[in-house]
Structure 1
Amino acid sequence: MGIFSSIMSKLGFGSDSKAVTGETAAPAPESAAVAVPQAISAVDVVAKLELLAAAHAEKLNWKVSIVDLLKLLGLDSSLAARKELAGELACPADKMGDSAQMNMWLHKTVLQKLAANGGNIPAELL
């Protein structure tokens, strides 16, 4: 699993889509095999991160720092991990050589991708 997938998992993305079904030993009638489409529920990313921040011993500024965002989620925030995440998200080569530029790009891109996947992210953070 990639780092971005871990971020999404920690924030609860996709947890609603895994429905638990009953016993499947007996074959179901043909009419029961029709899948019912389900709406994708939005994940309130800010609320989840604020709850984590309130309970965290360290004061972390996740709204501007990719390092603090990763720490808050309990993920590796080392330079190597951030470079791996940058590679996953196709960070431009010119930003990869400057960790400050890469970090700013990463933070913005992670929030944008969370929003694109159903995360409720306020415009001022994008």
Structure 2
Amino acid sequence: MGIFSSIMAKLGFGEDKQEAAVAAAPAAVEAAAVAAPVAISEVDVVAKLEALAKAHAEKLNWKVSIVDLLKLLGLDSSLAARKELAAELACPAEKMGDSAQMNMWLHKTVLQKLAANGGNIPADLL
């Protein structure tokens, strides 16, 4: 599982799909059964992150920092882990050489990808 998949799992993405798949399993036994598409359920990313931030001992600014976002989710925030995430998300090579540019790109891209996968992210964070 990639780092982005871990981020999504920590935020609860895919939980409804798993429950729907388990519920649909008996129907799939029928030979003529056709799987119905499962709608993407919206995940309130901001509410989940705010709740985690309130419970966290350290004050983390997840709204602007990829390091703080990863720390808040209990994931590795080291430079090596961030470079791995950047490679996973196809960060442009010119940004990979400058950790500050890479971090800014990563933060924006992670939030955009969460939004694209059904995350409720306000426009001001994108």
TM-score, normalisation: structure 2: 0.90
Instruction: For residues 51-108 of structure 1, give each alpha carbon's deviation from its aligned partner in whole angstroms, at most 9, with x where no partner exists.
Output: 0000000000000000000000000000000000000000011111110000000000
Q: Which runs of 5+ in 1 are unaligned?
A: none
One-letter amino acid of the structure 1 residue matched with residue 101 of structure 2: Q
Counterpart in 1 of 2:72?
A: 72
Instruction: For residues 31-68 of structure 1, give each alpha carbon's deviation from its aligned partner in whole angstroms, at most 9, with x where no partner exists.
Output: 7x343433221000000000000000000000000000
Larger Rg: 1
Counterpart in 1 of 2:12?
A: 12
CA RMSD of aligned residues (A): 1.9
Counterpart in 1 of 2:51?
A: 51
Q: Matches of 1:22 and 1:124 in 2, distance apart?
A: 38
Kindly tell me the number of residue pairs found equivalent between the two proteins: 123
CA positional deviation for 1:28: 5.1
Q: Matches of 1:108 and 1:29 in 2, distance apart?
A: 44
Q: Which runs of 5+ in 2 are unaligned?
A: none
2:77 partner SS: coil
Label 1:95 to 1:28 Cα distance change in 2 as closer, same or farther (>3 A).
closer
One-letter amino acid of the structure 1 residue matched with residue 58 of structure 2: E
Label 1:29 to 1:112 Cα distance change in 2 as closer, same or farther (>3 A).
closer
Instruction: Indicate the structure with greater helix content.
Output: 2
